[in-house]
Chains A and B, each alone.
Chain A
Amino acid sequence: DSGVTQTPKHLITATGQRVTLRCSPRSGDLSVYWYQQSLDQGLQFLIQYYNGEERAKGNILERFSAQQFPDLHSELNLSSLELGDSALYFCASSGLGVATDTQYFGPGTRLTVL
C-alpha cells in the first residue's frame, strides 16, 4: 500500500459527460501528480500541483482540469468526454526534497467512456 488513495476505483460513463476523480496524497506529501495510462500512449504526465498551486503542466487536454485543495487532496475533472478518454488515471504524490521526492502512485481510477 503506497498510502495514496484514489476514488472511485472504476467509473463508467457516456460520451459528452463530465466526471471527477479524487486523490488523497500520502501524509505529509505536498505535491500531487496526475498521469494517464492508455494502451497506445503509455503513461503520460498530465499535471502537477504543489501545496495548492499548479507547478507543471504536461499533455493535458483543455477539456481536463485539476485542482488541489487546502487539505492537499486533489481532483481531476474531465468534461465533454470522448471514447478516447477511456484509460487508467493515476495520482502520485511526493515531497520536494531530495530525500522525499519519490513519487508514490495510487491504485488508479479506471475510466470507461461508452
Chain B
Amino acid sequence: GENVEQHPSTLSVQEGDSAVIKCTYSDSASNYFPWYKQELGKGPQLIIDIRSNVGEKKDQRIAVTLNKTAKHFSLHITETQPEDSAVYFCAASKDSGYALNFGKGTSLLVTP
C-alpha cells in the first residue's frame, strides 16, 4: 500500500519567516496530494491540494510543489504568523474520492 513520510516532525520558526514541510510517497499511482491543518481539539482542515498534472499551486501565503518523478511534494508557508501554529498533515491518494494516506504530521510553532 501507499506509504507517506513527512519531515520534519516539529518545526519552530520566527514570525515572518518561511516554513517548509516535505513529504515523500511510495505509490506511483497516487495522483492527489492534499495538505491539512489541525488545530488543537479540532478536525483536520484542508488548506491546499494539488493534482499530479500540476507542478505547483499557490494560494496567498501558502504554496505546494509536486515532483512526480521523485515522488515528493512540499508545503511552503511564507510570512508566517502565530495563528499558523498547528499540526500539518500531508496526504496522498490514488485519485479523487479515495481514501487518504496521511503522513505522521508536522507540529509547527510560530513564535512572535
B-contact 0/1 string along A1-36, CB 8 Å cutoff: 010100000000000000000000000000101010
B43/A108 in contact, CB under 8 A: yes
Contacts of B49 in A (CB 8 A): 102
Interface residues of B in 70-112 (CB under 8 A from A): 89, 96-105
Given contacts A102-B34, A102-B49, contact A45 B100 (CB under 8 A): yes
Q: Is B46 at the interface (CB under 8 A from chain A)?
A: yes
Interface assignment of A95: CB less than 8 Å from any CB of chain B: yes
- The reply to whether A103 and B43 contact each other, CB–CB distance below 8 Å, is no
Which residue numbers of B lie inside 8 Å of A, CB to CB? 32, 34, 36, 42-46, 49, 89, 96-105
A-B pairs with CB below 8 Å: how many? 54
Cross-chain contact A98 with B98 (CB below 8 angstroms):
no
The residue among B32, B43, B98, B101 with the most chain A CB atoms within 10 A of its own CB is B43
Q: Are B46 and A104 in contact (CB under 8 A)?
A: yes
CB contact under 8 A between A56 and B99, given known A43-B44, A105-B43: yes
Binding site for B on A (CB under 8 A): 2, 4, 31, 33, 35, 42-45, 48, 50, 56, 58, 90, 92, 94-98, 101-108
Most chain A CB within a 10 A radius of its CB, from B45, B89, B98 = B98
- Is the Cβ of B101 less than 8 Å from the Cβ of A102? no
